[in-house]
């Protein structure tokens, strides 16, 4: 059973399009996260949600909008995609508080 | 300037060799984590070190937290091709359980 699953695994699209990435966790965790890993493998947090409430918004452009319909899901919608958005996006989850995070396998977004 | 400086950036060695990777900072942390990321997958937590001077072992991997809790090292004995991957150190900034990562060390072990 996959603990944190993301779809799609690959996303290739044109500049200016709008796209969404979905994330689901079956670990019963209260907190979920989105991270971005750039071409140099640097991994940086974008957002975190605790039980559907936004906790961290790490100065990400407002073209990125996370949405958490329930505590097991955290989706990422990106408007007006730009070349610089090309990266691997990881979803993660944890129990509330300072707890180990479990990562999905990532979504590789490529902007043409 | 990054909060966590990892070195080396790249390491390519033969099977059976030993290696050490480093994670350094000028800040003091209550704990530090090490992750391994294999191609096409997400990072997987290897260990959390919490006490200055602490040494933890995970099979052939030995993790050490510096006495002053500013730095850490990961030593691999008799590296195997299965050890190939990206090794990341990270600290938890506590508010929101936010993880801040180092830039990583890419390890390749050749058979």
- Residue A87 tokens read as 């990266």
Positions of chain A with pLDDT lower than 50, given as ranges:
none
Q: From A9, which residue of chain B is nearest by alpha-carbon distance?
A: B40
How many angstroms separate the CA of residue A66 from the nearest CA in chain B?
A: 16
Distance CA A20, CA A24 (A): 13
Chain A residues touching B40 at Cβ < 8 A: 105-106
Chains A, B: CB pairs < 8 Å: 58
Chain A residues touching B103 at Cβ < 8 A: 40-42
Give pLDDT, residue A59. Answer: 79
Query: Does the beta carbon of B48 lie under 8 angstroms from any beta carbon of chain A?
Result: yes
Distance CA A75, CA B80 (A): 37
**Run means of pLDDT, 10 residues per run, chain B, 111 residues:** 92 98 94 95 96 96 96 98 97 83 97 94
- Is A103 in contact with B43 (CB distance < 8 Å)? yes
Query: CB–CB of A101 and B99 under 8 A?
Result: yes
Distances (CA, A) of A92 to A112, B67, B77: 27, 31, 30
Give pLDDT, residue A45. Answer: 94
DSSP letter at A84?
A: G
Query: Does the beta carbon of A100 lie under 8 angstroms from any beta carbon of chain B?
Result: yes
- In degrees, rounded to 5, the angle at the alpha carbon of residue A101 between the alpha carbons of residues A98 and A103 is 165
DSSP letter at A88?
A: E
Give pLDDT, residue A96. Answer: 84
Give pLDDT, residue A35. Answer: 97
Q: In what order do the strands lie in the sheet with B19-24?
A: B5-7, B19-24, B71-76, B61-65, B55-58
- Residue A28 tokens read as 């019963």
């Amino acid at each position: 059973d996959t603990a944190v699953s993301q779809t799609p695994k690959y996303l290739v699209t044109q500049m200016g399009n709008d796209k969404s990435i979905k994330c689901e966790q079956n670990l019963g965790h209260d907190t979920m996260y989105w991270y971005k890993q750039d071409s140099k493998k640097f991994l940086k947090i974008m957002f975190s949600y605790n039980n559907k409430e936004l906790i961290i918004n790490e100065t990400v452009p407002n073209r990125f909008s996370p949405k958490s319909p329930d505590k097991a899901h955290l989706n990422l919608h990106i408007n007006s995609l730009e070349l610089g958005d090309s990266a691997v996006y990881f979803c993660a989850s944890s129990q509330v508080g300072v707890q180990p995070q479990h990562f999905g396998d990532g979504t590789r977004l490529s902007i043409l | 300037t990054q909060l966590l400086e990892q070195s080396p950036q790249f390491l390519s060695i033969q099977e059976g060799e030993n290696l050490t990777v480093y994670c350094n900072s000028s800040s003091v942390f209550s704990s530090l984590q090490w992750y391994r990321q294999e191609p096409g997958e997400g990072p997987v937590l290897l260990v959390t070190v919490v006490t200055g001077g602490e040494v933890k072992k995970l099979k052939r991997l030995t993790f050490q937290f510096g006495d002053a809790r500013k730095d850490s090292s990961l030593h691999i004995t008799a590296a195997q091709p299965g050890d190939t991957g990206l090794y990341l150190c990270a600290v938890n900034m506590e508010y929101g359980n936010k993880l801040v990562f180092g830039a990583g060390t890419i390890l390749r072990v050749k058979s």
